[in-house]
Structure 1
Amino acid sequence: MSVRTKVQTLLDEAGTSFAAEAGITLANKPSPLYRLAVLSVLLSTRIKAGIAVDAARELAQWNTPQKMFDATWQQRVDALGRAHYRRYDESTSTALGEGAELLLDRYHGDLRKLRAKSDGDPEELRKLLMDLPRLGPVGADIFCREAQLVWPELRPYFDGKALSGAKKLGLPTDPDKLADLVEGHDLAKLAAALVRSTLDRNLAAAVR
């Protein structure tokens, strides 16, 4: 199987971004970008990705920092509980409330202003994201991996987990060489599929 055929098989089998799986139609607009930040917080804990995605769907009713801030701590806990995100529900509810307040204070609730502050520097953008409570290096990588769909200055963004998947599948582990295998609008899908290949042995075996 050629490398390009292998990549196409991978995209066909697992090329849905985590944002799309959570019901987020990603665009360079405040609400979907905020929902991606929430999803990134949820995915960065030691919990199954499917549960984190379900939790993001439950929290979708609070799709702006203002709405998340206005929700009560208990309302957020209950929403997380409905998705079985119970191990971290209380601390995550607190973090989401504090994160919403930070975004309102610094960026008027608009992550595009955070992007502007980074002035096109992906590493600076990543550092600014990590000011959000519970959004550490892993969460910042998740956000950037997905946001490269709408923020081209991040491309190509393949974090350590995605590159680990590439190695597992016998694909290039150099980000630029990986990027050459797909169109720019498919980079986020490829990154997500590579991450899934690290989590799913059957998927990796099928692609290999």
Structure 2
Amino acid sequence: MSPRAPASARRITDALLEECGRTYAQEAGIRLRDTPQPLYQLLVLSHLLSARIRASVAVAAARTLFAHGMRTPRRMADATWQQRVDALGEGGYRRYDERTATQLGEGAHLVLDAWGGDLRRLRREADGDTAVLRSGLQRVPGVGPAGADIFVREVQEVWPETGPWVGEKGLRGAERLGLPASPDALADAARGRDRAVFAAALVRAALDQDVVDAVREAARAR
């Protein structure tokens, strides 16, 4: 059993969760449950977040796609390429809109063909092996290692066997905050908390120095 996290780590964790305690799925309006539609929405969001583009733009683009009805693989596949391009552009996702629109269509067809539109079938195929799950996710066009990591990170409270998982960016955020940068130590610091929320908060710290500064100041004040 790992030693209990020191008080300083717990203070930083508390401050971090107060500052940015939300997942990217929550920010995109996804009510994540172990049902086909929100799991597919998370896959789309993970795809968008994995590009070299601001996370806020990826989240906005996901929300716009969903607002235009593209919330299931069938609806995504049935949308025209132009409808997908237009929705991505409306969400501000313009740099990669044409390629991404193509990948979203191809990915929707793959999810339908390989898993009947239900990613829970992929979960059953993986049978608790996160490496197999990540490999299956990367069969989807546009979802590479980064996208698979994002999906696993965000789904871990719904699919507990995938966690604890913070990924490389999460570990980078922990280092910037002065938290112990090992998965076991971080799991102990976050004991009793939502693991997906904690992991997403660490990623926000990796991406934004203002988050790091605010968390450190709040932790010192405790």
Q: Report the TM range for the smaller structure's normalisation.
A: over 0.9
**1:144 Cα offset (Å):** 0.4
Q: Distance in 1 between matches of 2:184 and 2:109?
A: 37
CA contact (8 A) 1:16 1:192 kept: yes
Which consecutive residues of structure 1, in runs of 5 or more, have no partner in the other structure?
Answer: none
Amino acid at match of 1:149: E
Question: How much has 1:113 moved relative to structure 2?
Answer: 0.3
Are residues 1:14 and 2:56 paired? no
Tell me what 2:100 maps to.
Answer: 92
TM-score (ref. length: structure 2): 0.91
Deviation at 1:177, TM superposition (A): 1.6
1:43-89 CA-partner distances (Å, limit 9, x unpaired): 01111100000000011121110010001100000000101101100
Name stretches of at least 5 consecutive residues in structure 2 with no aligned partner. 1-6, 217-222
Q: Is the 8 A contact 1:149 1:185 kept in 2?
A: no
Question: Distance between the aligned counterparts of 1:119 and 1:13, measured in 2?
Answer: 35
Aligned residue in 1 for 2:39: 33
Runs of 4+ in 1 over 6 A off after TM superposition: none
Equivalent residue number for residue 110 of structure 1: 118
Q: Residue 75 of structure 1 aligns to a residue in which SS?
A: helix
**Partners of 2:74 and 2:44 in 1: how far apart?**
13
1:52 counterpart = 2:58? yes
Match of 1:127 among 126, 135, 139: 135
CA distance in 1, matches of 2:192, 2:83: 39
- Tell me which residue corresponds to 1:145: 153
Please name the residue that 1:176 is paired with.
184
Q: Deviations over 1:84-140 (max 9, x none)?
A: 101100100000000000011010000000111111101110010000001000000
CA drift at 1:202: 1.1
The alignment's TM-score, normalised by the length of structure 1, stands at 0.97
Counterpart residue type for residue 121 of structure 1: D
Shift of residue 182 of structure 1? Answer: 2.2
Identify the residue that residue 73 of structure 1 maps to in structure 2. 81
Letter in structure 2 aligned against 1:177: A
How many Å apart are 1:149 and its aligned residue?
1.4
Larger Rg: 2
**Percent identity (aligned):** 57
CA distance in 2, matches of 1:126, 1:141: 7
| Cα separation, 2, equivalents of 1:69 and 1:183 | 41
Q: Aligned-residue CA RMSD in angstroms? A: 1.0
1:131-174 CA-to-partner distances (Å, cap 9, x unmatched) read 00010000000000000010000110110000000011111111
